[in-house]
Structure formats: C-alpha cells, structure tokens
Chains A and B, each alone.
Chain A
Amino acid sequence: MTETNYLLRLLKDFPLVEEHRPWARRIVDFDAWMNIIEVLAVSDWDFLGLWAERQTQDNDRFQIHMSLRDAENTTVVVITLPLDGLSYPAVSGVRPGAARLERVVADLYGLVALGAEDMRPWLDHGRWLVNHPMAEAEAREVVPFGYDFLTADSEQALHQIPVGPVHAGIIEPGHFRFHANGETVVRLEERLGYVHKGVQALMEGKTVQEAAKLAGRLSGDSTVAHALAFVQAAEAAVGIEAPPRAVWLRAIMAEIERVANHLGDFGAVCNDAAFALMLSHAMTLKEKLQRMSHHVFGHRLMMDRIIPGGVAVDINKEAARHIMAAAREVRKGFQRLSDLYDDTPSLLDRTVGSGITMASLAHRFGTGGVVARAAGRAIDARKNPGYAPYGELDFDVPIEIDGDVHCRLMIRAAEIKESLALIERFTDGLPTGPLTRALPRHAGEGMALVEGFRGEIMTWLRLDADGLVARCFPRDPSWFQWPLLEACIEGNIVADFPLCNKSFNCSYSGVDL
C-alpha cells in the first residue's frame, strides 16, 4: 500500500513526543494536517478518535488530537495539531465518524471544524449555564434552543415520527426522528446528549484512582472494559506494567462482562420480536454470572475491581471453582438457547435480512465490535493491536459477512462460547504473585485500546507533573456505531427499528459523556 507508506513517511518528519506511550504521538503543522486529510481520503487507515485539549501552560492555547490506526501494520498513531486560533480543518469530510466528535469539540471548547458539513450543536442542548464549559466557560442565559432536524424531500408524501427521548420501556433517553413513507423509513436521525454528565471535565485535576472510578461509571454495562482502558492508559503514561496475576484477573472480569452482556442482548433482540421465552432464559443465565461475580469479586457488575496498578480483589481456589462451575453451566444453558433460536423459523424470519450494514460503511465510520464483525470487518482490539494477556493466547474472532440482525446475533453467540473458553483458560492458568504495583506520580501521556463487549474503547490520558489527570478522553465504541444505525434502517420498515436498534445496543451514556 503505497499511500499507507506515504502517510507513515509524511509523519516521520514531524517531532515525536517523548513521554507518549505505548504508541507514537507526533505534532504536525497546518499543512501536514491538510495533507493527512487528503491521504486519508484514499487510504484505509482506521479513524480512532478526535479530541481537543486546552494547554494551560502555553497561554491557554488549544490543540486538536486525532488518533489513527493502520490495521495492516498494527500501527497506532496520535497526531496533534496546535492551534493559533479557534479553528482547524475538519476530518469528517473523509472520516464521517469524526462528525459528532467535531461537534462535541465545538460545544465544549468553541473550536470550529472548518469545512465540516454539520455544525449543529451536539451535546449542548441550550440548557447549560455556561458556553464552552471546557474552555472559557462564559456564563449565559439558559434558553433551550430548538434543533434543526435534517429534512427529507420526496415526491411521495412523507410524514415524521418523533420517538423519545422518554420511551415506554425502561431504557436510556434518546430522541429518534423518522421520516417515513407509510411504513418505510426514508431517513432516521438520532439526537443524543440527554445524559451528559461532564465526565471529561470532572476527571481533570483528579488523582488517577478517582478518575478510574469515573471511567468505570461512563457506561455501567461496560464498567470493566472502560476501567480497564483507563488503567492501561494510566499505567502506560507512568511507564509501569500491572503484575501478571492482576492482568489475568482483569481479563477474567472482562470476559465475564462480555458473556453477561452478550447473553442479555441475545435475549433482548429475540424479545423485541415478541419471543419472550428467549429473554427469560437468557436473563436467567446472565443472572447466574452476575451472582457469581458478586460472590467472587464482590460486585455484580465488577465495578471498581480494576484499579490503577492492578486489581482490588484476589480470588482463591474455591472462588476459581465457582467461576469454572458458572462457565460450565452457562455453556450448557446457552447451547440450548442457541438451538432454540435455530429451530424457531418465525424468529429467523424477523432477523435474517433485517437492518443490513455494509462493511464499506463500517470502515468509513471506523466502526468496531459486534456490528463491524457481523459485516465482515475482522477487527478486535484484543488481536490488533493486542494487549496482555491475549497476545499469548490463540483464540478465534468470529466473523459473519451479511451484516444483518441475524449475523449480529450469531457473532454474539460465537463470542459467548469463545469467551467462556477464555474464562476457563485464564482461571486455570492464573499466575501467582502480587496484585498491585505502586503507581509513580509523575507526568506522562498514555493511550489504550481495549475490546469491550460493544467494541473497542479508546482512552487517551495526560498526567501532569503531580500525577493528576490533566486531560482524559474516553471514546466509547458507540460513537461510531450510532451513525451506522441511522444508515442501516433506511429502506427498512418502521416496525423493524426496535429490532435493529437492540441488535446494535449502542450506549447512550457512553457517548453523552
């Protein structure tokens, strides 16, 4: 790939930031940034994230960071553009997944993405007391403003269906605006941000330990994965590695979380096709795992069990037996459920061919996780770039190619089986040794990519000289999955939306930050 090499060559000329680990961060100038955008248009590098930072030590000037990955060479790179003013060239033209991140940067910092197509506010619903809370934060009058939803033109008479933010079921708040021609969806637009908590600002100035707790609360169902991404970034920033036993225990918890959530999703998708039987049985299995987690790790969701430098809880022989027993039981129970799914034609009729996502779109949006793997995009942060202890093990990353609801369920089913095997292997071969290592307090920059149950979580972290968090950007996988949901529902019928939505199961809280 010549253009890939070109991008690498282009970056080589720019200064490398010493204390950024484990991957390179390079500071580029305006022309190089423009060049990179041009090269991205024709290269297959994955877009991983975009965020801004205010440099208090440098006249409060701003800088924009963008992280990219060359999947072929397993290279991850962070590119930084220091800004003189309040604008930067938009990336969303070539990587549409960046669009909402650029809008967030505009809301939080007041920085304008030049050339971006969509300049509407995203997180800011007009209810904040200040403008640009992470920059100057000028007080303002609270006047909630309307939102210009995109329109759809057609020769047929279209109608709008507004859904949410308050729903009939107990789910997170989000607004969906449909343009429909009878039952057929012409356009869907999402409006999120209702559960904005200001996590990024809250983290600033906190100790790593406090910030790890915040990271674990970004999205409750993937608390382990978010905490893991945060502590890996923190450990990279100060240049230590967690002891082997802690690394393996973390992996056990991460896999338990993956299995539990996949079980819940598997049942919930079937329940949205009014097949309640599957949900009841899947939830029974999930409950078994969560009770086991409570018994062994002291928390049903294993919140705050992963701490910077190691883990907060050890397991003994008896606990290991508990884990093994639960894994066996879930495997046996789930086999019956997956047989039931295969033997229910009325259910398959709903899932096969509904909500098709295309691999090309998944790539353009940088989508990872179940959604991407169901569309034939083999991407898993555990393999690429890979992190301990997965590097030492050989395991399968299941792939399907059709990208419909059925494929997403099949991926979940295969991953449940694969993760159960991993849990048993990790528990079996658990190394001995200490649980934690002390974290030195000094400046540093770290980054981590961790595969949560939804997809890869990217966390970037900068620590100041006192070892406090100067800036942290946790990027939930849902950032790049939500836009794909908008695309995949087009041409489907309105009544199939809940099914497609549940098969994605994107996080609201994770992207509302």
Chain B
Amino acid sequence: MILTSVLWQVLQTLIAVLAAPLVTGFVRLIKARLNGRIGPSPLQPYRDLARLLRKELVLAGNASWLFRIAPYFIFSFTWMAASLVPSFTTNLVLIPTADMITLVALLGAARFMIALAGLDIGTSFGGLGASREMLIASLAEPAMLMTVFTLALLAGTTAPARIIDYVLAGGVGLQVSMGLSLVALLLVAIAENGRIPIDNPATHLELTMVHEAMVLEYTGRHLALIEAASMVRLQLYISLIICIFLPWGISQSGKGLEGIVLGLFAYGGKLALLAAGLAVFETVIAKMRVFRYADFLGGALLLSLLATLVLYVSEAV
C-alpha cells in the first residue's frame, strides 16, 4: 500500500514538471490558431528550455549571491507545491504531510525569491516588476487563503485529497459557496500566473511587464529554471481547479490499476479543456490598467469572503 502510494507520488511529481511545458505550448498553439496564425508546435517550450539550458550563463556585474541562488529556490518551491496537488490519484504518500496552506506558503516563498532577485540586480525594470508583483500578491494571497478556508469549512479539512473525497462523496450538492470559490480561484489563478488581463506573458513592451520585468536580466540555465517554474505553476493552478471543483474520474485509494489509467486520461482531458478555455479567454480580452488590478483581485477576495459568509448563513438556517 505504502509502496504504491510512493510510486504514484513519484509519477505525480514527474508529471507536474514534465507535462508543464506541453500545457504552456498547447495554450500558445490555441492562441495562435485563434489569431489566424499556424503557430509553433506545442512541443516548442521543451526546445526553448533545452536551448536555454545549453546556453552560456551571463551574470550582471552587480549580481549578488542571491541573484544566483534564486532560480533554484523558485523552481524547487514551485515544483514541490505542484507535487502536492493530486492530479490523477489521491493515493499519494505526501498527502498527509502537507495541505493547501502549505501550498500557498510554498508559492508565496517562490514569489518572494523572484521579487528579491528582481530588486537585487538594481535595474529600474526589476524594481518596477517587483513592486507590481507585490501589489498583485498582496491582493491575490488573501483571496486565495479565503478560498482555502471556505473549502476547509465545507469539507472539514485543508488537505486537498480529503476535499476531493468529500466532493466525490456527494457531500457538496449544489453549494453556492463552491460556485463563488470557483470564480474567486479562477481570478486568482489568472493573476498569479501573469495571464491577460493582469499581465501579458508574450509582450515585448518593457514598461508594461510584471513577471517578465523581474527576470529580464536572467540568462541560460537560470532563465530556463524560471521559465520552467512559470510553466509548472500554470499547470499547478489548472490542476488545483480540476482537483477541487472537477474531481470526477480521479482514482481514489483502494482502486486498482484501471482506476489509475482512467484517472490519468480524465486528468489529461480536463487539463486540455481548461487550457483551451484559458486561450480563448486571453484572446477575447485586453490587458487592464495597472491600477485596475485592485478591482479585479478585490473582486476575487470579496467573492471568497462571500463564500465563507454564505456557508455560515446556510448552516444557521
């Protein structure tokens, strides 16, 4: 039993990092097609990462040790967080050790490192990006935590696997709180991944960048790690939404190999569907003004607060 859960944990951890570039490539491909372009193959991000890994590392003269170690921390924190989100099975060995709050903390730590690295180099763009990133974080993290609390109150646990069990057991029914939390989490996911309308991952305009502005000075394997971390994070958030709100098909403990295979296929299908949805959303909307971020993420925070309140009200009734 333990052995299989270790095996599935290893598989889960590998999927979290190996499939991530494919998800990003798939989103880019769909966006290109929607724009009337042929677009590169969805495998292009793998080639980009391989190219960056091969390239020479160029460091700015005033880069400190912090700048050099940051990419490793950013990547490992994100990867660790990603391995905690059950994708195809809940039978994972690390499930009891970490919950959703650990997840938020790991992602917060990764963001802290990237903002420090952006400031460390001393360019105006690094500072600009770091300040915008912190503005977004200060709004997105409370919203994310409130969502977690709502789910925790509903399911009586903060562990994602237990929440899945609860949802699959039909304990939820048609809960208004779940709907509100879903919308809140979607808004947070868009902001945290630097997608349109918060940030444009494809822009070449230095002055409008958020995430890209902080990593402008990175090259070679450092840049590869940071790019890979963003890809992993995108897949992580999609997986999180899938596992909490669309868990159907996931293999629960006690199911055999066919359950795992079914879980893998269901996960892949849901991943592709949500990635395509992201691409469509990004195509039909323009980027918003920097000072509108507060409206967007304030909305997410309010929705998650409302979800908690509705929960208490409905319990009282």
CB-defined contacts of B299 to chain A, threshold 8 Å:
none
CB-based contact B289/A495 at 8 Å: yes
**Contact assessment for B290 and A350 in the assembled complex, using a CB-CB cutoff below 8 Å:** no
- Once the chains bind, are A270 and B286 in contact (CB under 8 Å)? yes
Are B208 and A498 interface neighbours, CB within 8 A?
yes
Contact with B along A162-188 (1 / 0, CB 8 A): 110001110000000000001100000
| A161-B124, A495-B289 given; A274·B196 CB < 8 A | yes
**Given the complex, which residues of A lie within 8 Å of B31, measured CB to CB?**
276
Total A-B Cβ pairs within 8 A: 78
Do residues A277 and B283 form an inter-chain contact, with CB atoms below 8 A?
yes
Residues of B within 8 A of A (CB-CB), count: 30
Q: What is the interface size of chain A, counting residues whose CB is below 8 A from a CB of the partner? A: 31
Residues of chain A within 8 A (CB-CB) of B287 are: 273-275, 350
Residues on the B chain within 8 Å of A154, using CB: none
Cβ A495 vs Cβ B286 within 8 A: no
Determine whether A497 belongs to the interface, using a CB cutoff of 8 Å to chain B. Answer: yes
Report the Cα distance A274→B285, complex, angstroms.
Answer: 8
Q: Does A241 contact B (CB under 8 A)?
A: no
Q: How far is the CB of A197 from chain B (nearest CB, A)?
A: 25
Partner among A160, A168, A281 whose Cβ is within 8 Å of the Cβ of B206: A168
CB-based contact B207/A159 at 8 Å: no
Q: Quick check: is B97 within 8 A (CB to CB) of the other chain?
A: no
Contact A277 B34 (CB under 8 A): yes
* Cross-interface CB contact of B286 among A168, A274, A284, A498, cutoff 8 Å: A274
0/1 interface trace, chain A 134-160, chain B, CB 8 Å (1 if under) = 000000000000000000000000011
- Cα A274 to Cα B288 in complex, Å, equals 9
Assembly CA distance A177 to B46 (angstroms): 38
Alpha-carbon distance between A350 and B291 when the two chains are bound, in angstroms = 11
Kindly name the residue among B127, B206, B292 whose own CB sees the greatest number of chain A CB atoms within 10 A.
Answer: B206
Residues of B within 8 A of A273 (CB): 286-287
Residues of chain A with a CB closer than 8 A to B125's CB:
161
B289 touches A349 (CB 8 A): yes
Does B35 sit within 8 A of A, measured CB to CB?
yes
Which residue of chain A has its CB nearest to the CB of B34?
A: A277
CA distance A280 to B36 in the complex (A): 7
B285 touches A346 (CB 8 A): yes
CB neighbours (8 Å) of B203 from chain A are 274
A273, B208: Cα distance in complex, Å: 9
Q: Which of B37, B284, B291 contacts A493 (CB 8 A)?
A: B291
B283 near A276 with CB under 8 A, answer yes
* A183–B286 CB distance below 8 A: no
Given known A-B contacts A168-B204, A274-B203, A281-B36, A344 and B286 have beta carbons under 8 A apart? yes
Known: A169-B205, A274-B203, A498-B207. A346 touches B288 (CB 8 A): yes
Bound form: Cα–Cα A497–B200 in Å: 15
Instruction: From the candidates A162, A183, A277, A496, name the one contacting B124 in the complex (CB within 8 A).
Output: A162
CA distance A452 to B125 in the complex (A): 36
Pick from B34, B128, B202: contact of A494, CB under 8 Å: B128
Q: Which of B127, B196, B283, B289 has the most CB of A within 10 A?
A: B289
Most chain A beta-carbon contacts within 10 A, residue among B34, B203, B206, B207: B207
Q: Which residue of A lies closest to B135 (CB)?
A: A183
In the complex, what residue of chain A is closest to B206 when comparing beta carbons? A168
User: What residue in chain B is nearest A170 (Cβ atoms)?
Assistant: B204
A414 contacts chain B at the CB level, 8 A cutoff: no
Give the residue of B197, B205, B208, B284 whose beta carbon is less than 8 angstroms from that of A277.
B284
In B146-204, which residues have CB < 8 Å from any A CB? 196-197, 200, 202-204
**Shortest distance from the beta carbon of A202 to any chain B beta carbon, whole Å:** 33
Q: Mark B11-53, 1 if CB is under 8 A from A, else 0.
A: 0000000000000000000010011110000000000000000
**Roughly how many angstroms separate A250 CA and B17 CA in the complex, as a whole number?**
60
Residues of B within 8 A of A277 (CB): 34-35, 283-284
In B60-100, the 8 Å CB interface with A consists of: none
Q: Tell me if A401 is interfacial: C-beta within 8 Å of chain B.
A: no
Check if B128 sits within 8 Å of A161, measured CB to CB: yes
Residue of B nearest to A280 (CB): B35
Residues of A within 8 A of B283 (CB): 276-277
Residue of B nearest to A183 (CB): B290
Complex CA–CA separation, A276 to B206 (angstroms): 17
| A 228-286 contacts with B by CB, 8 A | 270, 272-277, 280-281, 284
How far in angstroms is the closest Cβ of chain B from A269?
11
Query: Of A167, A183, A272, A346, which one neighbours B197 at CB under 8 angstroms?
Result: A346
In angstroms, how far is the closest chain A Cβ from the Cβ of B11?
Answer: 36
Given known pairs A276-B35, A277-B34, A497-B207, the reply for A346 and B286 (CB within 8 Å) is yes
Nearest chain B CB to A275's CB is how many angstroms away? 4
Query: Contact: A350 with B289, CB < 8 Å?
Result: yes
CB neighbors of A among B269-297 (8 A)? 283-292
* Chain B residue at minimal CB-CB distance from A275: B286
- Quick check: B124 and A349 within 8 Å, CB to CB? no
Q: Mark A338-362, 1 if CB is under 8 A from B, else 0.
A: 0000001011011000000000000
Q: A183-B290, A349-B289 are in contact. Are A168 and B205 (CB under 8 A)?
A: yes
Q: When chains A and B are docked, how far (Å) is the Cα of A231 from the Cα of B189? A: 59
Residues of B within 8 A of A495 (CB): 207-208, 289-290
Q: Which residue of chain A lies nearest to B199 when distances are taken between CB atoms in the complex?
A: A274
Chain B: CB-nearest residue to A168: B204
Is the pair A169, B204 in contact by a Cβ cutoff of 8 Å? yes
> Known interface pairs A277-B34, A498-B207. Does A183 touch B288 (Cβ–Cβ under 8 Å)?
no
| Contact string against B for A residues 485-508, beta-carbon threshold 8 Å, 1 for contact and 0 otherwise | 000000001111110000000000
B286 CB contacts on chain A under 8 angstroms: 270, 273-275, 344, 346-347, 349-350
Contact partners of A347 in chain B: CB under 8 A: 286
- Contact at A272–B35, with CB atoms within 8 Å? no
CB distance from A118 to the nearest CB of B (A): 25
A182: chain B residues within 8 A (beta carbon) = 131
- Which residues of A pack against B, CB within 8 Å? 159-163, 167-169, 182-183, 270, 272-277, 280-281, 284, 344, 346-347, 349-350, 493-498
20 contacts between A and B (CB under 8 A): A163-B206, A183-B290, A273-B287, A274-B202, A274-B203, A275-B287, A277-B34, A277-B35, A280-B35, A344-B284, A344-B285, A346-B197, A346-B285, A346-B288, A349-B289, A349-B292, A350-B288, A493-B289, A493-B291, A495-B207
